[in-house]
């Protein structure tokens, strides 16, 4: 009989300011290492006031991680040292593997309404910290949508549900990344590999993220699951939309400062010395 996972810990997003002055809510980050391993950080950014986001995230470096930017509403421009340049809109995703080093900028565009998006950082193991950087631009139309049960709609970005696999593959830590929408009373059930980290972040609405939960989780809260064979989420009377994440923990030391995450302080120091010296980018062009 399958063991349904229970919620081991609840994290609540907190307001902070990043980039050149972007107001956002941090769901987890530096202080939650290694609770969310292999995931490092999750930010929920958005506002109806362009002054809260228009200064964006100007040119900055990354090394040793992957960044995933998911546009929910509005548009974000991207440019990087590999020569990639473009704009993502609602439902589009940028999956960027920084690897040995990449310099990029992400600039939200003024929007009449609520601009909103999520950014996730995924750690890379020591064996792949210095892999070649790469960038993937995934359009909304290329993300499959499945309905595994009545009242359940899932956008599959990476990983698979049933026989449907997301468009982002070949990832080092082989994570699952789903955008799940439940109608009122809808139930989402998904197998979870024993030993894998599983998280669910409520983007809108509320739900019982495990059987017997004393209170529903609401927008801005994240469920960090204990071990087990499956996850079961039951939507509240208003329904729920949540981000489902799963991946195998790396269980490696983390040396993290700003936009760079390595395994040792010496590697971290080298990265910043190379950045200052102009030798940070190993591939592509600046």
Q: In whole angstroms, what is the distance from residue 130 CA to residue 35 CA? A: 24
DSSP state of 184: T
pLDDT, tens digit only, all 286 positions of the chain = 789 999 999 999 999 999 999 999 999 999 999 999 999 999 999 999 999 999 999 999 999 999 999 999 999 999 999 999 999 999 999 999 999 999 999 999 999 999 999 999 999 999 999 999 999 999 999 999 999 999 999 999 999 998 999 999 989 888 999 999 999 999 999 999 999 999 999 999 999 999 888 789 999 999 999 999 999 999 999 999 999 999 999 999 999 999 999 999 999 999 999 999 999 998 754 4
- pLDDT digits 0-9 by tens, 133-178: 999 999 999 999 999 999 999 999 999 998 999 999 989 888 999 9
pLDDT at position 286:
40
Report d(CA 76, CA 107) in Å as an integer: 5
CA atoms lying within 13 Å on the CB side of residue 37: 12
SS3 sequence of 74-118: CCEEEEECCCCEEEECCCCEEEEECCCCEEEEEEECCCCCCEEEE
DSSP 202-260: EEEEEEESSTT-SS-EETTEEEEE-S-SEEEEEEEEEEEEEEEEEE-------EEETTE
Q: Which of 37, 94, 244 is CA-nearest to residue 161?
A: 244
pLDDT at 285: 44
Q: For 30, phi and psi rounded to 5 degrees?
A: -50, -40
Which domains, from first to last, does the chain contain? Answer: 7-277 (2.60.120.10)
Give the pLDDT of residue 14. Answer: 97
pLDDT of residue 80: 95
Query: Which pLDDT value is given to residue 283?
Result: 73
The pLDDT, as a whole number, for residue 284 is 53
Two tokens, residue 159 = 């990983």
Quick one: which of 11, 45, 47 has its CA closest to 29?
A: 11
């Amino acid at each position: 009989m399958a063991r349904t996972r229970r919620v081991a810990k609840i994290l609540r997003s907190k307001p902070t300011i990043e980039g050149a002055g972007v107001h956002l809510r941090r769901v987890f980050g530096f202080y939650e290492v290694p609770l969310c391993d292999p995931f490092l950080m999750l930010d929920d950014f958005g506002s109806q006031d362009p002054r809260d986001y228009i200064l964006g995230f100007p040119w900055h470096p990354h090394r040793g991680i992957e960044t995933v930017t998911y546009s929910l509403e509005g548009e974000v421009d991207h440019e990087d040292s590999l020569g990639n340049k473009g704009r993502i809109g609602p439902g589009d995703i940028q999956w960027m593997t920084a690897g040995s080093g990449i310099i990029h900028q992400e600039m939200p565009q003024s929007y009449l309404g609520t601009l909103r998006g999520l950014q996730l950082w995924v750690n890379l193991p020591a064996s792949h910290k210095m892999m070649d950087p790469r960038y993937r631009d995934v359009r909304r139309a290329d993300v499959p949508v499945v309905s595994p049960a009545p009242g359940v709609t899932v956008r599959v970005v990476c990983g698979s549900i049933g026989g449907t696999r997301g468009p982002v593959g070949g990832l080092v830590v082989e994570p699952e990344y789903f955008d799940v929408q439940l109608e009122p009373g809808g139930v989402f059930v998904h197998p979870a590999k024993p030993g894998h980290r599983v998280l669910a972040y409520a983007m809108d609405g509320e739900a019982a993220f495990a059987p017997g939960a004393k209170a529903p989780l609401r927008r801005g809260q994240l469920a960090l699951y204990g071990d087990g064979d499956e996850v079961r989420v039951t939507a509240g009377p208003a329904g729920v939309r949540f981000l489902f994440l799963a991946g195998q923990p790396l269980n490696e030391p983390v040396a993290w400062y700003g936009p760079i995450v390595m395994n040792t302080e010496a590697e971290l120091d080298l990265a910043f010395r190379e950045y200052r010296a102009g030798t940070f980018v190993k591939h592509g062009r600046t």
